[in-house]
A = this chain, B = another copy of it.
């Protein structure tokens, strides 16, 4: 290398997403990703703990945004309402990345290996969300259930939003929460 190109991490992420879309996750090797980014396999593993991580570490920091919006939410709001508010706002921030998000979901749906990783990332988000909710007046148990329920609602509403991009996302979130409530009563 004559000179270091900047943003090795970003280049690896871009190369990886390109290749995954071209040939699917399983048929792409780490060496190929590194090659396309003008780097080596060894450097890839300096940036990402394993091959799956490169798929998740890009895009906007959804989890950060959720926590930020939650901290801003009216302290008088109950746990479920605060969680819904934070997830709704964080979801709206994703609108500019519609195409990217759709491609991401397609790869995810086709790759059990990545679905596993996605589930544990979501579970991690549920945990930190619950911990943040606990700093309100609620019990640990209530915080966990509120966080899980709100994330279930978000997941369903986001899927709906992707197939109906013209819909109002906050409306979808409200309607979906109503459906969850009626399902558990």
Chain A interface (Cβ < 8 Å from any Cβ of B):
79-80, 112, 115-117, 119-120, 123, 138, 141-146, 148-149, 152, 156, 176-177, 179-185
Oligomeric state, in number of copies?
Answer: 2
CB–CB A146/B116 < 8 A: no
Given the known inter-chain contacts A141-B179, A156-B141, A179-B141, please indicate yes or no for A184 contacting B116, CB distance below 8 A: no
Main secondary structure on A side of the interface with B:
helix
Q: Name the B residues within 8 Å of A115 (CB-CB).
A: 120, 123
**Residue of B117, B120, B145, B156 touching A183 (CB-CB under 8 A):** B145
> Which 4 A/B pairs are nearest by Cβ-Cβ distance?
A145-B183, A119-B119, A116-B116, A142-B183
Question: What's the least CB distance linking A20 to chain B, in Å?
Answer: 19
Contacts of A146 on B, CB cut-off 8 Å?
Answer: 183-184
5 extra A-B contacts, CB within 8 A, seeds A80-B183, A145-B184? A112-B120, A115-B120, A146-B184, A148-B152, A149-B184
A130 to chain B, nearest CB (A): 10
CA distance A146 to B185 in the complex (A): 9
Residues of B within 8 A of A179 (CB): 141-142, 145
A80 vs B180: C-alpha distance when bound (angstroms): 11
For the complex, what is the distance from the CA of A145 to the CA of B178, rounded to whole Å?
11
Q: Which of A181, A184, A185 is packed against the most chain B CB atoms within 10 Å? A: A184
